[in-house]
Amino acid sequence: MWIADKWKDYEVIDTSKGEKLERWGDYILVRPDPQVIWDTKRNDPRWKKKNGHYHRSRAGGGEWEFFDLPEEWQIGYNELKFNLKPFSFKHTGLFPEQATNWEWFSNLIKNAGRPIKVLNLFAYTGGATLSASAAGASVTHVDAAKGMVGWAKENAASSNLADRPIRWLVDDCVKFVEREIRRGNKYDAIIMDPPSYGRGPKGEIWKIEDSIFPFIELTMDILSDDPLFYLVNSYTTGLQPAVLTYMLSMTVKKKYGGEVESSEIGLPVSGNGLVLPCGASGRWSR
């Protein structure tokens, strides 16, 4: 398992009864987590001293309950700064487990010895975009949600990266790649974090089980002759690490050689020394 264990401003403190107790900077949150199927004693007093608690509804969705939590606050990871705010569907605007991938591809970019163009698809609030930019890459950031792209820009400004070569695009990722193929544009690296299900700006439907492999195949036409890396993230049950390895082996490795490795990604739980699984990632590199 690849573990994001270098955080100072974030930690999973404990997990129990379908929820996780987290510290985001100075604030304590309790949020649901479907991986937490165990029922253990909640000995840590911070379970009762939380600043925010997201309650999941049995009918779907849920709502926040706040106890002295600001509307927005900030945490850091190395030189990066992220603006956080609780919003619908339990999220805060950041997936801390992705830091293990940021470390991996940042090292590749720094050691490439040449300019690297990165395409970040389904790019959300820009954690991977900022990490790649800070490592020295020029980045094209694409997400279908205008609000998420705006949030990512705010994070870039907070991280002193506003003047770096980053293209911010609100677009359907599939349609964008199709246009880039026609334009003849190429990238040295691709990052994608596709949702299980989604809709593009014009109602385009994305269902990951049907769409992910054809989309990876499509992106082969925008990779440069000497690509550096390819990263696919999955939070979808059923898209296990071996599935990611298989897809990347049949596409990127088949065309360019190199190596593919996939694994669960996770976060350390400070209260017991265990690791909370948080999805999976597939990586290709030379």
Assign residue 57 the CATH number of its domain: 2.60.40.1180
Instruction: Find the helix or strand (DSSP H, E) in which 43 lies.
Output: none
Same domain for 164 and 250: yes
Q: Which residue has the higher pLDDT, 280 or 208?
A: 280
C-alpha R_g of the chain = 19
Q: What is the pLDDT of residues 209-243, one digit of tens each?
A: 888 999 999 999 999 999 999 999 998 877 899 99
Residues spanned by the domain of 219: 96-285
pLDDT at 200: 67
Same domain for 130 and 40: no
Specify if 7 maps to a domain: yes
> Which of 41, 60, 84 is at the close of a domain?
84
CA distances 34 to 15, 37, 41, 115, 244, Å, are 11, 7, 18, 41, 21
pLDDT at 264: 97
Indicate the number of domains in the chain. Answer: 2
Same domain for 117 and 73: no
Specify if 189 maps to a domain: yes
Residue 218: exposed, middle, or buried by beta-carbon count in 10 A (0-12, 13-18, 19+)? middle
pLDDT at 237: 76
Specify if 108 maps to a domain: yes
pLDDT at 213: 96
Q: Round to whole Å and give the CA distance between 194 and 285.
A: 20
Mean pLDDT, the chain, as a whole number? Answer: 95
259 forms beta bridges with 285
Q: What is the pLDDT of residues 4-63, one digit of tens each?
A: 999 999 999 999 999 999 999 999 999 999 999 999 999 999 999 999 999 998 877 899
Same domain for 30 and 67: yes
Same domain for 136 and 56: no
Report the percent of the chain where pLDDT is more than 70.
Answer: 99
pLDDT at 196: 83
Same domain for 231 and 110: yes
- Return the minimum-mean-pLDDT range out of 9-13, 97-101, 184-188, 210-214: 210-214
Same domain for 182 and 125: yes
Specify if 90 maps to a domain: no
Same domain for 255 and 176: yes
Q: Round to whole Å and give the CA distance between 187 and 116.
A: 8
Q: Round to whole Å and give the CA distance between 224 and 186.
A: 5
Same domain for 111 and 45: no
pLDDT band at 121 (very low <50, low <70, confident <90, very high): very high
pLDDT at 250: 98
Same domain for 61 and 159: no
Specify if 136 maps to a domain: yes
Whether residue 261 contacts residue 251, with contact meaning beta carbons closer than 8 Å, is answered with no
Same domain for 124 and 79: no
Specify if 89 maps to a domain: no
> Which of 63, 84, 105 is at the close of a domain?
84
Mean pLDDT (whole number) for 234-262: 94
What's the CATH number where 166 sits? 3.40.50.150
> Which of 84, 105, 138 is at the close of a domain?
84
pLDDT at 89: 81
Same domain for 131 and 54: no
pLDDT at 201: 64
Q: What is the pTM of this model?
A: 0.95
Specify if 161 maps to a domain: yes
Specify if 91 maps to a domain: no
